Chains A and B, each alone.
Chain A
């Protein structure tokens, strides 16, 4: 039961992060490794506002997401925008994304150092639930906040004009262009949404564990697994995929060395690619 609870917490973190990654992957048409850097920056920004500026936690998170969005859009302007206009393929984009990941991780180390950091929160004891399941208040916050965030993202994608344009673009880019959707504008919004998603997931992960520069990279493989399992470009699929990956990773710890958790994500991802590359909810190949 404890493993199940851990799985739900991990699943919530992966789900939140995977929503942004799935939209970026689809709308920008490549797998963006720099997303790992966004997760880390999100966590460290929030930490800085909270620990050092001593702002309230929610305000810190919101400020961090704003900064992260600005950073993501600035990066897009400097790199991907000109590559898009030159018609660079997914491979070139992916290599630039990897370069950015290394550059962002290096910046985190240079700015904040490589030592482990934590949110300076009063330590509370874990709450004990039936079946001797222990869940900390932080973890309850993570679950609650993820649910709220996913509901808000759902409203955004479903109700707003730009949200609908994003989903249409994710569904079929060529068709969206024909319909007169301003794809550059959609891309800007996608980065904004990715900032929310990555900022929140990075923060949650840091809240549940601790902050190290490598944390983003370590979450990247499970995130890609969730994105592929849910079908690239499908935000709801990403949420389900994230839950499945989180649960399988944690439950596997019941009968395997816990260090093999990422291997579980890898195996699920590879099987998905071999059996049904369009993911759980995809239509055809």
Chain B
């Protein structure tokens, strides 16, 4: 499919990838108040790991294990989670502003490794990623098919996360967000819950990375710049922290804005780069969200636990 329909499918699939990332960050920031500025790092880990797993053997990069797509997704999630665990065990107890700097540094280092270790990742040249099930689906319909897969993954994720954030587990997370000291005097092992949240959220980022890699079919370190992290933050903060439906809407809206700015090129004077304008607009959004609407556009649901 090409033309407007093709573009719409492309846009929606892209938005689904970001909706997955936004749900991951919502678990961490929205429900728990855990600051993670390293979204792009886990996103990259998921993308590359799944690409190594599902691809066919290649002398130019790691992997090519030819593992079926669903398992490649799972492995990407597990590896992302392991990265989070290794990073989290020492740093989870740090104050939030230190944690912010450490996680942003972590994501930059993941990207540095991808750029530098060319034998594993092909470095800045980027590596191709297979289209799963392309032998069963005719190519004109493939985009729609993959959008379907992505939507199904998003739906499963949404339900799985809704179940736990609406449980006593999720209630502890909100308590930690509201007041860590209260969580402590109620006997909750705050750092242990935060570590679970860091790992779970980062597994979701890994999933997002895997879905992205197999959608875009080509990944380079430039897909995982710190900008991606802030894009997800805007989605979560504007959409309403602590509300998964809100952040999905946030993801679609911000993604729409991002793609929409492409049409500006007809209006803008010659030589103005869309990339620079996008950078500025996202920056402006971050500033405006904090200054005007710190609680996001959709608020949080009132009842913490809805298991009954």
Q: Which residues of A contact B (CB under 8 A)?
A: 30-31, 79, 82-83, 88, 90-92, 94-96, 98-107, 109-110, 113-114, 217, 221, 224, 228, 257, 259-260, 262-263, 265-266, 269-270, 273-274, 277
Cα(A30)–Cα(B98), bound, Å: 10
Interface pair A31/B100, CB less than 8 Å apart: yes
Residue in B94, B97, B106, B289 with the greatest tally of chain A CB atoms within 10 Å? B97
Cα(A146)–Cα(B100), bound, Å: 30
- B87 shortest CB reach to chain A, Å: 9
- Closest B residue to A272 by beta carbon equals B98
Cα(A103)–Cα(B291), bound, Å: 15
Interface pair B290/A95, CB less than 8 Å apart: yes
Interface pair B91/A274, CB less than 8 Å apart: yes
Cα(A136)–Cα(B277), bound, Å: 37
For the complex of A and B, the 9 pairs showing the least CB-CB separation, nearest first, are A102-B283, A106-B280, A99-B286, A109-B276, A103-B283, A99-B287, A106-B279, A266-B105, A99-B283
Cα(A46)–Cα(B208), bound, Å: 43
Interface pair A270/B116, CB less than 8 Å apart: no
- Closest B residue to A111 by beta carbon equals B276
Q: Which residues of B contact A (CB under 8 A)?
A: 35, 90-91, 94-98, 100-102, 104-106, 108-109, 112, 115-116, 226-227, 230, 233, 237, 271-273, 275-280, 282-287, 289-291, 294
Interface pair B291/A83, CB less than 8 Å apart: yes
Interface pair B280/A102, CB less than 8 Å apart: yes
Interface pair A102/B275, CB less than 8 Å apart: no
Cα(A96)–Cα(B286), bound, Å: 6
Cα(A100)–Cα(B273), bound, Å: 19
Contacting residue for B105 out of A79, A104, A270, CB 8 A: A270
Residue in B237, B277, B291 with the greatest tally of chain A CB atoms within 10 Å? B291
Q: Which A residues are in CB contact (< 8 Å) with B286?
A: 95-96, 98-99, 102
Interface pair B112/A262, CB less than 8 Å apart: yes
Q: Which A residues are in CB contact (< 8 Å) with B35?
A: 91
Interface pair A262/B280, CB less than 8 Å apart: no
Contacting residue for A96 out of B230, B277, B279, B291, CB 8 A: B291
Q: What are 22 of the A-B contact pairs (CB < 8 Å)? A: A83-B290, A88-B290, A91-B100, A92-B290, A96-B286, A96-B290, A96-B291, A99-B283, A102-B227, A102-B282, A103-B280, A103-B283, A105-B283, A106-B279, A109-B275, A114-B275, A260-B116, A262-B109, A265-B105, A266-B108, A270-B91, A274-B94
Interface pair B96/A90, CB less than 8 Å apart: yes
- Closest A residue to B87 by beta carbon equals A270
Seed contacts A31-B100, A99-B285, A266-B108; 4 additional CB < 8 Å A-B pairs? A94-B100, A95-B289, A99-B287, A106-B283
Interface pair B277/A110, CB less than 8 Å apart: yes
- Closest B residue to A217 by beta carbon equals B226
Interface pair B116/A257, CB less than 8 Å apart: yes
Q: Which A residues are in CB contact (< 8 Å) with B237?
A: 95
Q: Which B residues are in CB contact (< 8 Å) with A217?
A: 226
Contacting residue for B101 out of A96, A109, A269, CB 8 A: A269
Interface pair A102/B230, CB less than 8 Å apart: yes
Cα(A79)–Cα(B100), bound, Å: 21
Cα(A36)–Cα(B291), bound, Å: 21
Q: Which B residues are in CB contact (< 8 Å) with A262?
A: 105, 108-109, 112
Q: Which A residues are in CB contact (< 8 Å) with B273?
A: 109-110, 114
Interface pair A99/B97, CB less than 8 Å apart: no
- A27 shortest CB reach to chain B, Å: 15
Cα(A103)–Cα(B97), bound, Å: 21
Q: Which B residues are in CB contact (< 8 Å) with A265?
A: 105
Known: A31-B97, A83-B290, A90-B96. A273 touches B102 (CB 8 A): yes
Interface pair A79/B291, CB less than 8 Å apart: yes
Q: Which A residues are in CB contact (< 8 Å) with B233?
A: 95
